[in-house]
Structure 1
């Protein structure tokens, strides 16, 4: 399955234009990894979902830490919510957790590391093995969570979960500068970078799992 992976649109019109272009490239599914808006309003998210769903391509989404707290309700009403859920798309199983670990900025959707662990453990019980993990926050200590000065700001709980369960892939975002493809054990970690800057990624899952970064 060819998946379009995008994150961090932050409600910018240019990001929606980029998305329209990417939707014409024959992808079989779309994964939206949060920060669809910049602190709202939810109307921005509704407009974005209208754009995606007109393509008739299956879509799954989690909210980001900068999305309003009721974003998951908007996603649920559209049938695309992956936040705190386990969903099958084609022959692939996805589990998702939006928001982020605690930041200095008191954004709308943040979780303690203990809360992240608790939610992921609930989900893995439903998923079994061979699933794709979709988290807005990236795993700690990887290229996906690294700032330009070398500081890592991702979630230690997400990292520990990946190391223990070894999902097929982890699609993440949040850290704009962390655009990268890397591995944690056998897990492919993909941070596509912000679509607001024309960045995205393609994830191919089949006999072999591989990812490619896209720049528009």
Structure 2
């Protein structure tokens, strides 16, 4: 394989990391296949796992249906066309559902019913993903998943019940020859008031509580923190206006990462620190001895962005590749 040719010395452990797939069925399938594709023995998925929107497919009668995706209206005249559209919606990370004009009007008038439907669709997809992982993964690959700030807390219970996937949130997990990883999907405050976010002092306390449980030396330690460190270049996001619109058509960027995450990395100096959260900030940097990576996200295109990292327990991680597939 290309990675065998690229990296001449066999690593102690090869890790593949991806994040922010936001409900994309295509990206999840690719993630499950990435162990074999990249010859990786450890798979790590950071948050956010879940999708963002429901997409109604409305029955018009006489075998006709209508729907709207990305402000484009669609009409269908056969079951095959509807199924094909549903696959497109799932590939983009959204939740399709079939309905009638009356049922849709009722949902639009009742916020609680909309929320309940979204909740069921979202959890149902995560349950299906865990079943898929149990069927496709074997004992040769370790798979760790940590939800993100956009993911509801019920997701954790579903992941914890899986056989082949290990819930990493808030825990120290071990892999390879004495490596340890600590993970969390919590972030600093965002404009969207998401499920797992808090002020920087509380976030720092959370991170220190977790990192204090690590017993491996720094050269065998990995931090999997969904939010990137502040001012690292891995946290540059489009600046938004007071009405939540991109400023200067998205050309103006500002650092939005966490000072708490940066402080935790500077204090612990792990060999590797894995991040996501800011889809546009794909790249890598170093904070002291720590290699920090944000592989970015293109989930809406069904493209799985990731990073392959060879860990050998040396003072620094020297071999890594940002991937796209």
Q: TM-score, normalised by structure 1?
A: 0.92
Which shifted more, 191-200 or 125-134? Answer: 191-200
Runs of 4+ in 1 over 6 A off after TM superposition: none
- 1:104-123 aligned within 5 A: 104-123=191-210
Secondary structure in 2 aligned to 1:213? strand
Matched, 1:211 2:314: no
- Alpha-carbon distance between aligned partners in 1 of 2:17 and 2:26, rounded to the nearest angstrom: 17
The offset of 1:21, in angstroms, is 4.2
Partner of 2:75: none
Contact 1:101 1:137 in 2 (8 A): yes
| 1:97-119, Cα deviation, whole Å (9 max, x unpaired) | 11321100011221221221111
Matched, 1:143 2:233: yes
Partner of 2:308: 202
Contact 1:202 1:213 in 2 (8 A): yes
Which of 4, 12, 15 pairs up with 2:16?
A: 4
Q: How many residues align?
A: 216
Contact 2:283 2:294 in 1 (8 A): yes
Secondary structure in 2 aligned to 1:132? strand
Q: Which runs of no fewer than 5 residues in structure 2 stay unpaired?
A: 1-12, 53-118, 239-251
Matched, 1:134 2:218: no
Contact 1:62 1:97 in 2 (8 A): yes
Partner of 1:97: 184
Secondary structure in 1 aligned to 2:167? coil
Which of 7, 29, 32 pairs up with 2:45?
A: 32
1:29–1:114 distance in 2 versus 1, CA, 3 Å: same
1:125–1:17 distance in 2 versus 1, CA, 3 Å: closer
- Alpha-carbon distance between aligned partners in 1 of 2:207 and 2:123, rounded to the nearest angstrom: 26
Partner of 1:55: 137
Partner of 1:163: 266
Secondary structure in 1 aligned to 2:15? strand
- Alpha-carbon distance between aligned partners in 2 of 1:136 and 1:44, rounded to the nearest angstrom: 21
Contact 1:7 1:195 in 2 (8 A): no
Contact 2:272 2:291 in 1 (8 A): yes
Contact 1:18 1:195 in 2 (8 A): no
Matched, 1:88 2:169: no
RMSD (CA atoms): 1.8
Q: Which runs of no fewer than 5 residues in structure 1 stay unpaired?
A: none
Which shifted more, 136-145 or 188-197? Answer: 188-197
